[in-house]
Amino acid sequence: MTVTAAGRRSYLDHNASSPLRPSVRGAMAEALDLIGNPSSVHADGRAVRRAVDEARRQVARLAGVSAAEVLFTAGGTEANNLALRGFAGRRLIVSAVEHESVLAAAPAAARIPVDRNGVVDADALDRLLAAGDGPALVSVMLVNNETGVIQPVAEVARIARAHGAIVHCDAVQGAGRVPLDRAALGVDLLSLSAHKLGGPAGCGALVVAEGCHIEPLIRGGGQERWRRAGTENIVGIVGFGAAAAAALDDRTGPDLTALRDDLERRALAAVPLARVMGAGAARAGNVACLALPGVAGETQVMALDLAGVSVSAGAACSSGKVRPSHVLEAMGESADVAGAAIRVSLGWNTTAADIDRFLAAWTAMARRLVPSVAAV
Amino acid sequence: MSDIGLNSLGFPKAPQDTRVVVAMSGGVDSSVTAALLREEGYDVVGITLQLYDHGLAVQRPGTCCAGQDIYDARQVADRIGIPHYVLDYESRFGQEVIEDFADTYLRGETPIPCVRCNQTVKFRDLLSTARDLGAEALATGHYVRRVMGAGGPELHRGADPGRDQSYFLFATTREQLDFLRFPLGGLPKSETRALAERFGLAVADKPDSQDICFVPNGSYADLVAKLRPGGVEPGDIVHLDGRVLGRHDGIIHYTVGQRKGLGIGGQKGDGGEPLYVIRLDAATCRVIVGPREALGRRRVLVRDMNWIGPALAADEGLPVSVKLRSAQPAAAAAVRLGTGGAAEVVLDQPHYGIAPGQACVVYQGDRMLGGGWITGTQTE
């Protein structure tokens, strides 16, 4: 639980952005004093380059790759754009539940449907690949940002490779939460983001397998092996490295799966008409996507916020307004249910007290707004 | 029980225990409303409605979904330290307000979308959300007064006659009025601006909105033509005596009582008198013109009458004053309530230029008793 000037609040929106870990803050504070440009020849420049290279190794370890494969970007969105737009001439196939940064970067892409639990249909992918001509690029996320559902990326990659496709995996919500190994997944490209791990916002990476040639989006310098021009975001990258290291070494952290399961069990016991989205699929342990039919998700988010609990609904645009979830709609949920879901996402500093606080606020809200619940 | 007085919103508890949602448009009025309530210590929650795609409205698709007004509202909320939310009401605003706007024009009537907006998205949907958030009241920046009378809350004109907005709130029901609060109703606009300065709000100098919000360039006809392709048809301009005087590009360009811009080259009637739009005939696409005397009407037929005044017997005529256009003064009349929301208003003196589609709003003194949509008129 965090204490702010406004009183105690519980932050349960780690999939939007996870609070900065203390170890990351320390590493970034030190990096603020570094002098120079990593591209410079002099000793100062070399010292900065060392810090960036160390962070690159830390991020590489998180993804099970070599440091040379890590290309730093200004976040997961840029990494996804770079992946989807970096292979001119390939037809694009993406899952229906991808993040907006994939869908918008590939507006003409074919969409792989998902089942009721939100898991991509591998047979449908096979058919899409067989039906088209020319080399393809397939993009399927590791963990869905709204439901936490884990996608069968290794199977997707096996099918895609059999058709000669390049495979991209948006692992932004998976890194640090489920095992991650590029080679084991069999993908060519992996997107990562620092602030979902307790690192700073504005820093991410695209892992590009050696031998995979990608066209840069940003030109004007030789940084990142000519694949992403511009002086590196040194402090952000150092923070990213520290966050990656901390995420790998989370044995001392809370058992998020146990907390999440407890949350869902108690929520459904108190409000039997509520539903957990994607409950039938393997899921990352830190996400509960709860639908309260009859109550708009945005109303729930506001009511919970006023009660001191931060969660989210759907995907918010920069104005803070909420659109219906394309993920839940792709899962075949009616607009009523898709519009009535909230996402509760846990992270490195979540405690049992946060879960209690959420449940107290959420059940009180449900009793107030759903007449049939009040009677229970 | 200890003796607890009522707070300024009429609740028997401390302001900090009273949650009130403020509908914040990003303009100076609703901003000051929020700031005043915050200063009094209320648990204020600001909500701004995203009603239409700002980028589309200004013909620049791809600009952010949020216009300047949403940004302004958020700035004010940050400044005064209240939680603020943006609700996406685009689809319902489109259905309830913009579609109705187009249909009303095509019927040969002159719509008032602000009334539809208050009636639907604001006082029905936003009000319901405010209740869901545990609020005791929904406050807006309208210049009207809510006065407690013997029979419950009454809606009165704003104290500043130049700012009174009661005409646009005629469709407010008793149940809605019970939940609504209008903290600015007693203030002149100049004081609102002074308060905005005192609160340090960036919107203190923001100009009042003039146009209909979703038609910022003022071109209603273009919007209607876009929404209803083929619906805007040219036709004849016909004198009451049957003579065809010219052509027009669509009846939506005209309103009853209009004299200027008829596009018939300054033609006059037989006696050299100027010509006015007497009637718009949607079925035949005709604009009927004639001399001013032909506009005179004493009887106004009204539908969807929302009556929040004293109970009236079926055939009882009540002496009242009525406003038939927002910018016109009220005129003496008698109102009679019919069945199914119908009502009939008989004016003491003939009125010139009553346009179907506009509202007929009924007053007794400063109190607004109700109102409805004008469907037709009769000379006597």
- Cα B189 from chain centre: 18
Q: Domain ends where: B185, B205, B225?
A: B205
- Decide if B65 is inside a domain: yes
Number of domains in chain A: 2
Q: What is the mean pLDDT of residues A26-55?
A: 96
Residue A213 in contact with partner chain B when CB distance is under 8 A: no
- Looking at the complex, report in whole angstroms how far the Cα of residue A201 sits from the nearest Cα belonging to chain B: 21
Q: Which of B83, B86, B132 is facing A321, going by the closest CB pair? A: B86
Please report, for the domain that includes residue B281, its CATH number: 2.30.30.280
Q: In what order do the strands lie in the sheet with A204-208?
A: A70-73, A204-208, A189-193, A166-170, A136-139, A91-95, A110-112
Report which of residues A34 and B315 the model is more confident about: A34
Please report, for the domain that includes residue B92, its CATH number: 3.40.50.620
Q: Domain ends where: A211, A227, A248?
A: A248
Instruction: Give catalytic status of residue A212 as yes or no.
Output: no
Please report, for the domain that includes residue A309, its CATH number: 3.90.1150.10
Q: Note whether B145 and B269 are same-domain residues.
A: no
Q: Note whether A104 and A41 are same-domain residues.
A: yes
Q: A319 vs B133: CB contact, 8 Å cut-off?
A: no
Gap between the Cα atoms of B14 and B4, Å rounded: 9
Instruction: Give catalytic status of residue B213 as yes or no.
Output: yes
Task: Note down the domain range covering B178.
Answer: 15-205
Residue A100 in contact with partner chain B when CB distance is under 8 A: no
- Looking at the complex, report in whole angstroms how far the Cα of residue B48 sits from the nearest Cα belonging to chain A: 10
Residue A368 in contact with partner chain B when CB distance is under 8 A: yes
Quote the pLDDT of residue B380: 79
Q: Are strands A287-291 and A275-276 parallel, antiparallel or unpaired?
A: antiparallel
Q: Note whether A110 and A216 are same-domain residues.
A: yes
> What is the rounded average pLDDT for all residues in chain A?
93
Quote the pLDDT of residue B225: 86
> B64 to chain A: which residues are within 8 Å by CB?
317-319
- Decide if A1 is inside a domain: no
The three-point CA angle B365-B367-B372 to 5° equals 110
- Decide if B214 is inside a domain: no
Given B64, B65, B114, B213, the catalytic residue: B213
**Separation in Å, CA B165 to CA A201, B80, B114, B121, B279:** 46, 26, 11, 18, 28
Number of domains in chain B: 3
Q: B65 vs A317: CB contact, 8 Å cut-off?
A: yes
Q: Note whether B194 and B245 are same-domain residues.
A: no
Listed range (A68-77, A272-281, B113-122, B219-228) with the worst mean pLDDT = B219-228
Amino acid identity for residue B149 in this structure:
G
- Decide if B10 is inside a domain: no
Q: Note whether A237 and A264 are same-domain residues.
A: no
Quote the pLDDT of residue B335: 96
Please report, for the domain that includes residue B307, its CATH number: 2.40.30.10
> B87 to chain A: which residues are within 8 Å by CB?
298, 321
Q: What is the mean pLDDT of residues A216-236?
A: 95
Task: Note down the domain range covering A127.
Answer: 22-248
- pLDDT tens-digit profile of B202-239? 898 888 876 788 887 778 888 888 888 888 889 999 99
- Decide if A2 is inside a domain: no
Gap between the Cα atoms of A185 and B48, Å rounded: 45
Q: B132 vs A298: CB contact, 8 Å cut-off?
A: no
Residue of A nearest to B74 (CA): A319
Q: Note whether B362 and B245 are same-domain residues.
A: no
Quote the pLDDT of residue B65: 45
Quote the pLDDT of residue B68: 85
Q: Note whether A286 and A350 are same-domain residues.
A: yes
Quote the pLDDT of residue B54: 64
Q: Domain ends where: B290, B325, B357?
A: B290
Residue of A nearest to B66 (CA): A319
Q: What is the mean pLDDT of residues A319-335?
A: 79
Q: B45 vs A318: CB contact, 8 Å cut-off?
A: no
pLDDT less than 70: residues of chain B: 1-4, 54-66, 210, 265-271
Q: B88 vs A299: CB contact, 8 Å cut-off?
A: no
Query: How many other β-carbons are positioned within 10 Å of the β-carbon of residue B240?
Result: 14
Residue B85 in contact with partner chain A when CB distance is under 8 A: yes
Gap between the Cα atoms of A357 and A307, Å rounded: 9
Residue B50 in contact with partner chain A when CB distance is under 8 A: yes
Listed range (A87-96, A193-202, A261-270, B214-223) with the worst mean pLDDT = B214-223
- Decide if B5 is inside a domain: no
Q: Note whether A240 and A273 are same-domain residues.
A: no
Contact A148, A127 (CB under 8 A): no
Residue A101 pLDDT level (bands cut at 50, 70, 90): very high
Quote the pLDDT of residue B265: 61
Q: Which of A305, A321, A368 is facing B50, going by the closest CB pair? A: A321
Share of chain A above pLDDT 70, in %: 94
